[in-house]
Amino acid sequence: MIFVTDDGSHSLHVPELNEHYHSTHGAIQESQHIYIENGLNYLQKQTLNILEIGFGTGLNVLLTALHAGSKTIRYTTLEPYPLPDEILSKLNYPNILNANNCFTQIHTCPWEIATEIQPHFFLKKHRISLQDYYPIEPIDLIYFDAFGPTAAPDLWTQEQFQKLYNTLNPGGVLITFSAKGTVRQALTNVGFTVTKRPGPTGKTHISRAEK
């Protein structure tokens, strides 16, 4: 079910899990704060391999493409249950961000094939779960944006974080909305240095884990 968040941008509610895809305080402001300001902008590299856990509405991809600047980005995203076109076509992100062409490219490019959706920005969408995915190329930045630990506990395990830690380049970063103690402990246990960062509107903290 689509609903309007406090910043005017859309999000989705999943009644079966009682989960929202984004903060009710603002979908765009949340993604911008967590994944762009504390992730993309934090790493001072001109060439980045990004892995996203939870493609969802494609908002993180869209914001990353819009803020890529002169960077060369290879962006891989995982989504075992893609949203239907009839929902995606109703989302208002492209209108708010003036990015209709980019949003269309993100959602119409083929799955499982790396596609240049704009100069120097390559997107590869995998219809697969994190549990079944094993990265091949080293990663610089991970957006961990899956459903929360209560709704999807199998994704937030030490085993999955170990796999992600192993694929990160030295100096690589995992950024996530969750600052739950068990999540931070699991990240620490596999070798990450974890810091709490101020959260977006409506959330006290987020977590940034560095290798």
Q: Give domain limits for the chain.
A: 27-210
What kind of fold does domain 27-210 have according to CATH? Answer: Rossmann fold (3.40.50)
Say what the pTM is.
0.96
pLDDT digits (tens, 9 = 90+) for 152-207: 999 999 999 999 999 999 999 999 999 999 999 999 999 999 999 999 999 999 99
Q: How confident is the model at residue 59 (pLDDT cuts 50, 70, 90)?
A: very high
HEC letters along the chain: CEEECCCCCEEEEECCCCEECCCCCCHHHHHHHHHHHHHHCCCCCCEEEEEEECCCCCHHHHHHHHCCCCCEEEEEEECCCCCCHHHHCCCCHHHHCCCHHHHHHHHHCCECCCEEEECCEEEEEECCCHHHCCCCCCEEEEEECCCCCCCCHHHCCHHHHHHHHHHEEEEEEEEECCCCHHHHHHHHHCCCEEEEEECCCCCCEEEEEEC
In the chain, what percentage of residues exceed pLDDT 90?
A: 89
